[in-house]
């Protein structure tokens, strides 16, 4: 992997991790466009570290509050919200891993578009609550588990789950980003263990570091942007974007065949 590719993938990872457009889907798409056929596990792990640093910096005050009041409802909510993704990974890990070839990528993008649009339609009809509760926590946790599938946005799905149940828009986004911390950390731990176990794995340190820095910087601005945007704007623009992207991917896979899909 070259430096330019690492920069592009890093920026895209950081931006799309926290915007409702699917970071995994964009990385799979770009890796197919660039013709990167070899598994880039080490690179992917380092990129996730970059985005983890970004969200921790932005959400630092909330994180400190959680540790100060560790035995609080918020800590319980974060634990509960993480459990569905853990169960899904343990039960369906092989299925999710196989999907990263890009075969179902277009359908994942279209599903994200439907979830975003539907959540906005429903949220208009429900009363806005101020606080995260157990039902919204479980719903957002299940949505996060579904979003392991490439093309399905983690941020978009979890925020949508909160909106459907009437959670305040900004609070739904804030909780979604807090949820991302254990999710990303868990991904880093699992991938890191695999990297260590695969002694023959190819490690390109410089591109990985460059990509991580780009992911961290772009991720920082993506979180700040989304927190500011969600209170004022609806998610229809993102829904249109991923719908168009999904259609283009499917057109290429079935008709145009300009990309050599794995």
What is the pLDDT at residue 247?
A: 97
Distances 195 to 17, 41, 46, 170, 184 between C-alpha atoms, Å: 22, 7, 11, 37, 16
- The answer to whether the beta carbons of residues 115 and 234 sit under 8 Å apart is no
Spans of all domains in the chain: 3-256
> What DSSP letter does each residue of 33-98 carry, written as one string?
HHT--S--HHHHHHHHHHHHHHHHHHTHHHHHHHHHTTTSHHHHHHHHHHHHHHHHHHHHHHHHHH
d(CA 218, CA 14): 5
d(CA 124, CA 204): 48
- The answer to whether the beta carbons of residues 29 and 102 sit under 8 Å apart is yes
Q: What is the pLDDT along the chain (262 residues), one digit of tens a residue?
A: 688 989 999 999 999 999 999 999 999 999 888 887 655 667 888 898 999 999 999 999 999 999 999 999 999 999 999 999 999 988 988 888 888 888 899 999 999 999 999 999 998 887 666 689 999 999 999 999 999 999 999 999 999 999 999 899 999 999 999 999 999 998 888 877 776 776 555 557 888 899 999 999 999 999 999 999 998 889 999 999 999 999 999 999 999 999 887 6
What is the pLDDT at residue 15?
A: 93
What is the pLDDT at residue 14?
A: 94
What is the pLDDT at residue 130?
A: 66
- Which residue is it, tokens 């996060």? 144
Closest CA to 187 of 77, 32, 23: 23
What is the pLDDT at residue 199?
A: 53
d(CA 159, CA 177): 9
Model confidence pTM above 0.85: yes
Distances 130 to 70, 136, 177, 252 between C-alpha atoms, Å: 21, 12, 17, 44
Residues recorded for the chain: 262
What is the pLDDT at residue 262?
A: 63
Q: Where does the chain have alpha helices with state H?
A: 3-18, 23-34, 41-58, 60-68, 73-99, 105-123, 134-146, 154-164, 169-197, 205-230, 236-251
The C-alpha R_g of the chain, in whole angstroms, comes to 18
CB atoms closer than 10 angstroms to residue 8: 16
């Amino acid at each position: 992997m070259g430096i330019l590719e690492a920069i592009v993938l890093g920026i895209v990872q950081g931006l799309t991790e926290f915007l409702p457009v699917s970071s995994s889907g964009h990385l799979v798409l770009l890796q197919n466009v660039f013709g990167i056929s070899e598994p880039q596990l080490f690179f992917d792990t380092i990129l996730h570290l970059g985005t983890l640093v970004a969200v921790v910096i932005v959400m630092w005050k909330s994180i400190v509050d959680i540790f100060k009041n560790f035995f609080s409802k918020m800590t319980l909510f974060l634990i509960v919200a993480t459990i569905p993704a853990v169960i899904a990974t343990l039960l369906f890990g092989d299925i999710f891993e196989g999907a990263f070839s890009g075969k179902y990528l277009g359908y994942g993008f279209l599903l994200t578009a439907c979830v975003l649009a539907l959540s906005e339609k429903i949220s208009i009809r429900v009363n806005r609550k101020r606080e995260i509760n157990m039902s919204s926590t479980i719903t957002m946790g299940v949505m996060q588990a579904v979003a392991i599938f490439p093309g399905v946005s983690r941020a978009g799905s979890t925020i949508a789950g909160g909106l459907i149940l009437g959670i305040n828009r900004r609070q739904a986004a804030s909780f979604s980003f807090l949820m991302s911390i254990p999710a990303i950390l868990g991904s880093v731990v699992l991938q890191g263990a695999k990297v260590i176990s695969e002694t023959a794995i190819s490690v390109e340190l410089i591109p990985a570091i460059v990509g991580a820095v780009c992911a961290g910087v772009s991720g920082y601005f993506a979180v700040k942007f989304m927190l500011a945007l969600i209170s004022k704007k609806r998610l229809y623009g993102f829904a249109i974007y991923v719908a168009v992207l999904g259609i283009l991917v499917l057109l290429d896979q079935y008709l145009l065949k300009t990309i050599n899909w794995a």
